[in-house]
Amino acid sequence: MLSTMQDGNLSIANLLRHGSVAHAASEIVTWTGADARRSTFAEVGRNSARLANALRGLGVTGDQRVGTFMWNNAEHMVAYCAIPSMGAVLHTLNIRLFPDQLVYIANHAEDRVILVDGTLGPMLAKHLPSMTTVEHVIVTGGDAGVLEAPHGVEVHSYDELLAAQPDVFDWPDIDERSAAAMCYTSGTTGDPKGVVYSHRSIWLHSMQVCMSDSMRLAQGDTALAIVPMFHAMSWGLPYAALMVGASLVMPDRFLQPGPIAEILAAERPAFAAAVPAIWQGLLQHLEAHPQDISHLREVIIGGSAAPPSLMHAFEERYGVPVLHAWGMTETSPLGSVARPPARTTGRERWAYRYTQGRFPASVRARLVGETGAELPWDNESVGELEVRGPWIAESYYGGADVDPEKFRDGWLRTGDVGTISPDGFLTLTDRTKDVIKSGGEWISSVGLENHVMSHPAVVEAAVIGVPDEKWDERPLVAVVVAEGQQVTAGELREFLTDKVARWQMPEQWTFVDEVPKTSVGKFDKKRLRTSYSQGELDVTRA
């Protein structure tokens, strides 16, 4: 028996039609460093049509890939809308990747056109001669003449190109399972891997971002989207905003604590999202330059574990609840949000908030042990997390032969290790590649990091396993001390005595100016291990 329901493609074009008409007055606010420039959703719709017409004229007639090398701003939002809606594929290029990785993914995706922010033009120009498929570069927010391109690559001014185009476009009816956008992973070994999102997966993911057990993005909200649009689709905020009419504040290149504080004061958003490093920096800034940020209804932290000390500081000092979320490029990226059950209070409520969150109905999860057996959801059994669902990748771009070990029986192997509670809350204890195996027992690097970062003199702490003749591996802690503070390795060991088991206690410590970060703001433990092996760290034993 079949249903009597109509069918229709869940396409980005339909999102754009809806957002630019039903929520025409909602805004994309781009910070300029001193104030803001504003574009309504109606203007975004008209500029999306202009960009689509321009790209047609440049030979984008099908599912060719169009890259973006841009900050979070209104022009990037237009690209988000126009490129998938016309049937092409949006490819967000991570501006923080190493040059060889950047060139690799542009060539692997076969980018035909790249939109580049004027401030990033010189950086892109260095790599263009090695990007063999690029035929056109469109420069936004700057003088196109400053970008030197190799022979065979035409350079265009975004403003001039769009000014010559009509503000209407006959958006095609696109199969919802066709490619809409693609991102490449940053944390894998070997070459980056491409993840291709469908129109359908983006639509369903956008709905989840707006749901009450998720980010609760809603009509009338103003959301500060600090998480980059070149990383995991800015956690789904751009398309979710189109869906419900939430205004977005885009920080452009002004991502330091001082400018973020200025943006908060000027625009007073109700919601914000970024990785822990951003919030650690803002917290330090607020301690030195107090201001009211209670207009923030809540803040989402993802990308890596949010230290409980950071969560308590924002809520108890500034009245801003911090919610933990988990996800990855392969999960679009929203996998879970730590919104506690309504019945909970006090310590129980905080215990839920320390987790990575509960899986929504569309994300199925399981834990798999070292023998390959599925483990129970008892909040004690530790295994590798595997997930599946309508916005979870089932392979990488290029087919089943690309890193096939990442996928098992239709499940994505996340590489994350942890437990799941009987009511579906995930607690991650480590990455499979970062867990410390000492004397036959596992030590959670994340757990140690959170305990060390709860010390008032510590800003950041990253833990890696280093070789040990007796125990196989032992933890080494890299510590960043807060400005104006002092603390010794011995004092930190004493601080940990009632927090970790004796056999887990670190003996080796190193004090650094900054923990190295990956292109998406996570602790780069691979670089820490290299620095240790090459004798570049000043290690203290305590």
Q: How far apart are CA 12 and CA 197, in angstroms?
A: 11
Model confidence at 471, in pLDDT bands (50, 70, 90)?
Answer: confident
433 assigned to active site: no
Write the pLDDT tens digit of every residue in 472-516. 899 999 999 998 999 999 999 999 999 988 889 999 999 999 999
**pLDDT score recorded for residue 40:** 98
* For range 123-140, the mean pLDDT: 97
Write the pLDDT tens digit of every residue in 74-109. 999 999 999 999 999 999 999 998 899 999 999 999
**Contact predicate 498/464, CB 8 Å:** no
User: Was domain 12-203 assigned CATH 3.40.50.12780?
Assistant: yes
Which residues make beta-bridge pairs with 65?
89, 111
Q: How far apart are CA 297 and CA 8, in angstroms?
A: 35
Active-site position among 68, 185, 414, 427: 185
Indicate the residue type of 420: I
Q: Which residues neighbour 436 within 8 Å (Cβ) at sequence distance 6 or greater?
A: 430, 442, 443, 444, 445, 463, 464, 465, 473, 474, 475
Structural domain spans, the chain? 12-203, 436-541
**pLDDT score recorded for residue 191:** 86
> What average pLDDT does the structure give for the chain?
94
Indicate the residue type of 218: A
Token pair, residue 493, equals 């060991």
Angle between helices 276-288 and 308-318 (to 10 degrees): 40
Token pair, residue 22, equals 């039903």
**Contact predicate 127/104, CB 8 Å:** no
pTM, two decimal places = 0.89
Q: Which residues neighbour 227 within 8 Å (Cβ) at sequence distance 6 or greater?
A: 234, 235, 237, 273, 274, 275, 302, 303
**pLDDT score recorded for residue 188:** 52
CA angle 40, 41, 47 (to 5 degrees): 90
Active-site position among 75, 176, 262, 330: 330
165 against 431, higher pLDDT = 165
Model confidence at 323, in pLDDT bands (50, 70, 90)?
Answer: very high
Active-site position among 43, 133, 188, 442: 442
Longest dimension (CA), the chain: 72
Q: Do 12-203 and 436-541 show the same overall fold?
A: no
**pLDDT score recorded for residue 442:** 76
**Contact predicate 286/309, CB 8 Å:** no
Which residues make beta-bridge pairs with 272?
224, 299
517 assigned to active site: no
442 assigned to active site: yes
Q: How far apart are CA 233 and CA 68, in angstroms?
A: 12
Write the pLDDT tens digit of every residue in 5-35. 999 999 999 999 999 999 999 999 999 998 9
| 317 pLDDT above the threshold of 60 | yes
Q: Which of 478, 477, 466 is nearest to 438 (CA)?
A: 466
Q: For the residues of 463-507, what is the DSSP string, one character each?
A: EEEEEETTTEEEEEEEEEEPTT----HHHHHHHHTTTS-GGG---
**pLDDT score recorded for residue 199:** 98
Active-site position among 437, 441, 494, 503: 437
Q: For the residues of 262-322, what is the DSSP string, one character each?
A: HHHHHH--SEEEE-HHHHHHHHHHHHHS----TT-SEEEE-SSPPPHHHHHHHHHHH---E
3-class secondary structure, 455: coil
Q: Which of 3, 140, 169, 172 is nearest to 67 (CA)?
A: 140
Write the pLDDT tens digit of every residue in 345-399. 999 999 999 999 999 999 999 999 989 999 999 999 999 999 999 999 999 999 9
Neighbours of 196 (CB within 10 A): 20
* For range 230-237, the mean pLDDT: 95
Q: For the residues of 9-29, what is the DSSP string, one character each?
A: ---HHHHHHHHHHHTTT-EEE
| 189 pLDDT above the threshold of 70 | no
Model confidence at 142, in pLDDT bands (50, 70, 90)?
Answer: confident
67 against 444, higher pLDDT = 67
Superfamily of domain 436-541: ANL, C-terminal domain (3.30.300.30)
509 assigned to active site: no
Neighbours of 325 (CB within 10 A): 22
Which residues make beta-bridge pairs with 467?
473
